[in-house]
Amino acid sequence: MIELFYEYWMVPVVTALTLVTGFSTYYCIFFARKLLYVTEQIEKSLDILDERYASIDRILQIPLFYDSKEVRQVLKDIEVSRDAILQVAAAVGRVEETVDEES
């Protein structure tokens, strides 16, 4: 009697486990691909930020011969923008390092 019970329920249980395994495998691969895509986009963005930071830094190294208040304000805005770029790149870099350490 017990053997009949095991034989009767074995096929549905194995089928259900196979389906659950298939779904979980699909979604693991799906989200892993999404995560790799996001990581690549972050790396590209960091490269662009590095280029812009270097470009702004070169511009700020040029001596300013015009002493207008407006020109000084624009120069100050560029310096603040340069610092903001550096802060964003550092924050994103810290997030990537934290994720890498957890993995």
Q: What is the pLDDT along the chain (103 residues), one digit of tens a residue?
A: 566 666 777 888 889 999 999 999 999 999 999 989 888 888 888 788 888 888 878 877 877 777 777 777 877 888 888 888 888 878 877 766 666 666 6
- Please report where in the chains the tokens 């805005």 appear, as a residue: 77
Question: Tell me, what's the pLDDT at 87?
Answer: 84
Give the residue numbers spanning the domain of 97: 2-102
Question: Domain total for the chain?
Answer: 1
Greatest pairwise CA separation for the chain in angstroms:
99
Question: Tell me, what's the pLDDT at 40?
Answer: 86
Find out whether 89 and 60 touch, Cβ atoms under 8 Å: no
Question: Tell me, what's the pLDDT at 28?
Answer: 96
Question: Tell me, what's the pLDDT at 2?
Answer: 60
CA atoms within 13 A on the CB side of 65: 0
What pTM value is reported for the model?
Answer: 0.58
Question: Tell me, what's the pLDDT at 39?
Answer: 83
Question: Tell me, what's the pLDDT at 24?
Answer: 97
Paired tokens of 37: 């895509």
Paired tokens of 5: 């019970």
